[in-house]
Structure 1
């Protein structure tokens, strides 16, 4: 009995002498049972809280957390993919838009072949086909309408600040104009615009024959209706859009029906088929957006696309610009955006455009035109011109729109709620408030550091890939860019925060870390929201989503995190609350990728596409992960995640450097061609006295992407850097016949010597007169005759000023990039010689003359378009290229 009592006493003594850590854990559990969790205003014990086993229970298991996040991201991607597949079937109702009939129009137009301005295919064959179809439609129209047709052949000139600024002159180009109106006539009209011309050497099914086909079918549908319209509908089939928007200018400034136009819909393309995106509206006519929302059966559009396009990031313009600037008419700009890889190539054929895509576009445009033609607002459209409108589609299902001023109020209210949430944490005892602000600032610093380190690191990788000649490896294989740059970016972000967690927050409470690293992105998005709203950027609604939904999510997850820690229930509720912001941002990014990636294949030799792509992917990763990085601090470990992401990126990097991913593809079903321009060129340089000073000839070659001729050289060895084109510094645009003033984008080009070419329709240029004007200036009058496409370049000499000319609005427009003057000229059939004059003022007489004037010609069709040397060289290009070739001349004079 004594031994037994002694043993019991020893056991009792051992129980009372427990390890301090276990004793502390038991004491904490007793305290938790005795009283409820502390209220938020009691604050967090920011430091030295969370040690021991109880803290470890708060941490997420890495494998389960990663699995949930991966499934979450895959689900988001799947939903985005589904939203882009929402196409429609052809209508069965004969009163509705009939896509098969529109397809018949499309196939017949594209069967004519390439339709460059001035060619018989454009000026005669296509025009005749359109007139035949319009006549057939007129014969079957109901008695409620009357159809009028006019062939316009305008001549005019204008200046525009696109591409640095240039001036355009057109002569006798072609428009086919059709007006559908009530029998009693109509004072006001809505305009629908397409263009039937195409870029040289392409048949332009998507750009823009399909739009003209859609318009023909809409004309057919409306004309058969027995219900009269209130206003007229004008269908403009314009024949010179690819010539820098000339035909639309000719219509809106010269046609007698133009004054009745109160609104327009412009149908364009930046890709081949798919959905047609509303990417421009207005200006300042929110009623037009409401009309689109009310009438379009399958709406798809976003203010983000409008602000990106109008920012100039995408070097393009549409007829929307002409109607807005020269006609002061509000409108809607739509464009097909899918598969921009084959836009403006030989692969842009009718068979690549799905019938359901045509049906979708037809349903939308027919609905909007019919709505506008019956709207009382059309007649008084100027009365509804007040402010902009924020609009965005919700995954292609419907469109939300509200006035920009309402959006401003909403944005500031959301910002104020975020400030109140954050401010509440500073209304604690001064010591705790100071600690909170200090820790928030430090956490924000770690976050900014992770962003900066990630961006710099990824850009270094992208620069290295560009320098070794492996750029555009993702052009055909898009996911290569995600595996190369996206995984590396995420690994870098996680790694930096893991270091902060390991060394700085070693003894910090995990609940505090979850709080503060939620507040950091909230501060970032709130500042962004306030700033964008202040600047009047309508796309600020995205920031509003990223402030409002996280705050709601915090409301639903706060209790779970505080009482039970970072459980799987917590992460599930959290991700569910963040579902809309993540899904919508991913949806927008996918639209941007759809348009942006193909542009990198034609963006010029001076913009490294991998650096641009890497920067964009880093930005997307930063934004999408902004509220997810808190899980780094709530997870037990991030080791396997970081290693896996780094391994994927490293393997992809090795494969890219090894040249495994070839940028281009000749797959007929899904081509990704490399674009190359070839011009068989003859150049002549004349001295001040008019004598020929020097001349040369060769094939001038421009690769439209950053890779230049790197990939082509193994197939055509002579196209190497030994024949790089030398710039003639004293000549405008380096003494080369640029069709557009884009030489700053294409500094790397090649000049392969070849025999001189002599077109059968040579250019004729002469000085008609030289007059001394009363205001101490000299007027030079010229006459030019030549092919349908020519470019005029002017460079005044030092001490001389180009003060006036007969082009544009009379005041010369200098190109802001090159400092020279650029004039784009084109003509249709039977055009008279081009006459123009310029006036120069010289401060002192120079023996070298006052001005250098050069004339470039471009033979885009007919027997002068090609040469035996061009044919022979084209045959040697690999099948994954799209070489577009023609003959050019360049003549330079000094006066």
Structure 2
């Protein structure tokens, strides 16, 4: 970036007041060395960042953990996770069996220690007074009558005070709304690992007591509507909770990420521990801005006024909620990583003065992130604003001071120098800004092209897709600089600014200054995820400073200035890139628009390559570099466009499975839905007769769903005798004094599911009563979720109609092992090896009975 300074300037000449002279022609060998060094540093920092941030700790045995005061991940894996090998959907008997195992386990552990422990099987009969899902309130879609099924444990701290810290994880994979895709299989990472971690922390605290009380909520029905956490808020213990840690599983292994947080003190305690850190405020901002629509128990606790942390896996989402979410596809080291973070947060909160107090702390946003997954930084938004403001003021202050000193020493020379310097800075800023727009837009266009030439290519080949976007960004950057140079050579547009290396360096500094102003304003508004802009600006300022020293002979290597510019900024942005890689690549099969992922890659890549503009001008030979980078880009586009997007290892296509059964006729259909390649999968599982019945529709705006008829019925509905035994029900009208209102008493008994829904055709349900629970908000459906399976229950409801109407009783079945759902098992075995099954909605099979009300 350096250029010789004119000898007439004094040492007090302002930083931007260098005169430009025409540089001697560069040798081609020197030029390509510069490009190689640039590429090498870029690649090195990318690989180095990925390797460090992806490393996992070794799982510790009991003895090893005791020696270092750490988390016994291997013990938790062997004793707690390995027993969770049975599908355990919230509607199934297996779910109840797991609950009984949890109760036995916590009791056995408490009996072996002297700590004061209270175990409550949850005395709250119903978890919500209105029973309406937040996502359904706008259109009044669904009443929920839910019997709580949590397992609550309280370990009294050595102080004997009631104020407590909460750990929460859900033990039953259930179902949520259409926002979340569910499959009721083993689900070891969602949320089996969270349960294993909580049990091990429970054991750790029993062995090594803490000062403050800790409550453990092993909750159920999380994905049916976050009912387990809602039930917790209705429990008497809730009034004493001062903070929480929610353990989630949005992926299937890898590192666990602290992705949402409103408890800065607990985060600081966690990051002070000598463990592998992994946290980023970006997730918090994406949720707060409404860019991520799903929810976890964190949302409920925070809505209850409790600050906390959301800790979750996010990588390998292709196995999340699928038949591969099993022990075979996870490992003790992932459990160890989540356990390290959870134990550090829990013991840090429970042993620290000032975190657990008699007053409820305020839930507030703050800045937090890790560096290369090794250590973390956390500070308030106010601190971020102050740091940004200080460095924002530093450059103008320095320039003003330098100009004043120069004016005092040589007024004439200063006036002559300032004019060209200002012009040079303005032109440099214009060039850099235009380049930023061109690079971003061109990278997006290449991403859009790839969505047409090979849809879902990122799903299985995001590394190659990212390299293609990087190549596009490099090409656009170099081509733009070539265009600016060519225009200058032809039309003498810049005249006095012949050295674009220096002009673009200060233009880049100016643009970064403006971006830092924007980041500071965002921090004022509560957005902390632009923390990297601070380091981008500081790095650029250091590089410009080193450029000045280089021109006076104090620094001899331009590569040192480049490395100083990007050594902190690049790893921080690479971390965001890899976070996007792992968290979003496999959401494409769920319906996430691929262009959104390309957009994130394009934005981050643009930020990365913008730092290289001055160094590209230093290298020169822009036409040749443009030609070479263009050919490389075309080659990568061709390769990326030709690859099959799925594979049988880490990127199988997630096919959403659904079976519908008619209770009366026994007719049944199955459907598979995904973003692409659905027909190939359906053809592989069907006979010619079944294939002839296919029907194709578009669902959830982006997914293709293919439905075919099948004779493979769930075991409980294999014949009329089994059907009548499994689902027994009656609907009787009862007198009411209300005009134009029908009142119905329904009696329902199912032997193998806890979840049924009542729908009145074309009429809203205006009132419902189950035991002591009454609901009065109009809704289209009434869903009942019982704690015990096999018991007969009665529910009364009303709907507005002058005449009796027809309705539908739908019950949902999630058991498929041991031949309980032949259609699911056949599909699982017959689909191509580049695909696997998942479920969205309620149940592996839905059984619909038409009823007269």
2:652 corresponds to 1:673: yes
1:566-608 CA-to-partner distances (Å, cap 9, x unmatched) read x98123323223211112111222123221212223x22xx44
Q: Which residue of 1 aligns with 2:127?
A: 156
1:791-833 CA-to-partner distances (Å, cap 9, x unmatched) read 5668968xxx88777799967488xxxxxx5665433324553
Pair 458,717 (structure 1): closer, same or farther in 2 beyond 3 Å: farther
Under a length normalisation based on structure 2, what TM-score does the superposition of the two structures give? 0.82
1:412 to 382, 389, 394: 389
Give distance in 2, aligned partners of 1:888 and 1:286: 45
Select between 412-421 and 538-547 the one with higher mean Cα deviation: 412-421
* Secondary structure in structure 2 of the residue aligned to 1:138: helix
* Secondary structure in structure 1 of the residue aligned to 2:830: coil
1:77-88 equivalences under 5 Å are 77-80=46-49, 81-88=51-58
Q: Which residue of 1 aligns with 2:835?
A: 881
Give distance in 1, aligned partners of 2:486 and 2:693: 55
Under a length normalisation based on structure 1, what TM-score does the superposition of the two structures give? 0.78
Q: Contact 1:525–1:546 at 8 Å: present in 2 too?
A: no
Unaligned runs of 5+ in 1: 1-27, 685-691, 728-742, 815-820
1:726-780 CA-to-partner distances (Å, cap 9, x unmatched) read 69xxxxxxxxxxxxxxx5356531221345965453374736457565xx88475
Q: Which residue of 2 aligns with 1:489?
A: 473
Q: Contact 1:856–1:888 at 8 Å: present in 2 too?
A: yes
> Shift of the alpha carbon at 1:491?
1.3
Q: Which residue of 1 aligns with 2:570?
A: 582
Q: Which residue of 2 aligns with 1:783?
A: 746
> Shift of the alpha carbon at 1:334?
0.8
2:317 corresponds to 1:340: yes
> Shift of the alpha carbon at 1:379?
4.3
1:834-873 CA-to-partner distances (Å, cap 9, x unmatched) read 6364665x9xx9xxx8999665432112699955555555
* Secondary structure in structure 1 of the residue aligned to 2:223: coil
Give distance in 1, aligned partners of 2:758 and 2:400: 63
> Shift of the alpha carbon at 1:213?
1.7
1:509 to 498, 507, 516: 498
* Secondary structure in structure 1 of the residue aligned to 2:700: helix
Give distance in 2, aligned partners of 1:270 and 1:682: 31
Pair 891,710 (structure 1): closer, same or farther in 2 beyond 3 Å: same
Select between 265-274 and 885-894 the one with higher mean Cα deviation: 885-894
Count of residue correspondences: 796
Q: Which residue of 2 aligns with 1:21?
A: none
1:387-786 equivalences under 5 Å are 387-417=364-394, 432=420, 435-436=423-424, 439-440=427-428, 442-444=430-432, 446-451=434-439, 453-455=441-443, 457-465=445-453, 470-504=454-488, 507=492, 508-510=497-499, 511-519=501-509, 521-560=511-550, 562=551, 569-601=557-589, 603-604=590-591, 607-609=592-594, 611-658=595-642, 661-667=643-649, 671-682=650-661, 697-709=667-679, 713=683, 723-725=694-696, 744-745=700-701, 748-754=704-710, 758=717, 759-760=723-724, 761-762=726-727, 764=729, 766=731, 768-769=733-734, 771=736, 773=738, 778=741, 783=746, 785=748
> Shift of the alpha carbon at 1:278?
1.0
Pair 352,872 (structure 1): closer, same or farther in 2 beyond 3 Å: closer
Pick the structure with greater CA Rg: 1
Pair 104,579 (structure 1): closer, same or farther in 2 beyond 3 Å: same
1:119-518 equivalences under 5 Å are 119-124=92-97, 126-141=98-113, 143=114, 145-152=115-122, 154-157=125-128, 158-162=131-135, 167=142, 169-182=144-157, 185-198=160-173, 200-225=183-208, 228-253=209-234, 255-282=235-262, 285-294=263-272, 297-325=275-303, 327-380=304-357, 382=359, 384-385=361-362, 387-417=364-394, 432=420, 435-436=423-424, 439-440=427-428, 442-444=430-432, 446-451=434-439, 453-455=441-443, 457-465=445-453, 470-504=454-488, 507=492, 508-510=497-499, 511-518=501-508
Give distance in 2, aligned partners of 1:811 and 1:630: 67
> Shift of the alpha carbon at 1:76?
0.7
> Shift of the alpha carbon at 1:644?
3.7
Give distance in 1, aligned partners of 2:96 and 2:529: 42
Give distance in 1, aligned partners of 2:401 and 2:248: 51
* Secondary structure in structure 2 of the residue aligned to 1:110: coil
Q: Contact 1:805–1:811 at 8 Å: present in 2 too?
A: yes
Q: Which residue of 2 aligns with 1:19?
A: none
Q: Contact 1:859–1:888 at 8 Å: present in 2 too?
A: yes
Pair 486,701 (structure 1): closer, same or farther in 2 beyond 3 Å: farther
Q: Contact 1:426–1:434 at 8 Å: present in 2 too?
A: no
> Shift of the alpha carbon at 1:784?
6.5
Pair 276,809 (structure 1): closer, same or farther in 2 beyond 3 Å: farther
Pair 698,527 (structure 1): closer, same or farther in 2 beyond 3 Å: farther
2:45 corresponds to 1:76: yes
Q: Which residue of 1 aligns with 2:793?
A: 833
Give distance in 1, aligned partners of 2:825 and 2:439: 52
Q: Which residue of 2 aligns with 1:24?
A: none
Select between 776-785 and 294-303 the one with higher mean Cα deviation: 776-785
Give distance in 2, aligned partners of 1:335 and 1:237: 16
Pair 750,712 (structure 1): closer, same or farther in 2 beyond 3 Å: closer
> Shift of the alpha carbon at 1:277?
1.2
Give distance in 1, aligned partners of 2:627 and 2:681: 34
> Shift of the alpha carbon at 1:622?
0.6
Pair 571,242 (structure 1): closer, same or farther in 2 beyond 3 Å: same
Give distance in 2, aligned partners of 1:649 and 1:424: 47
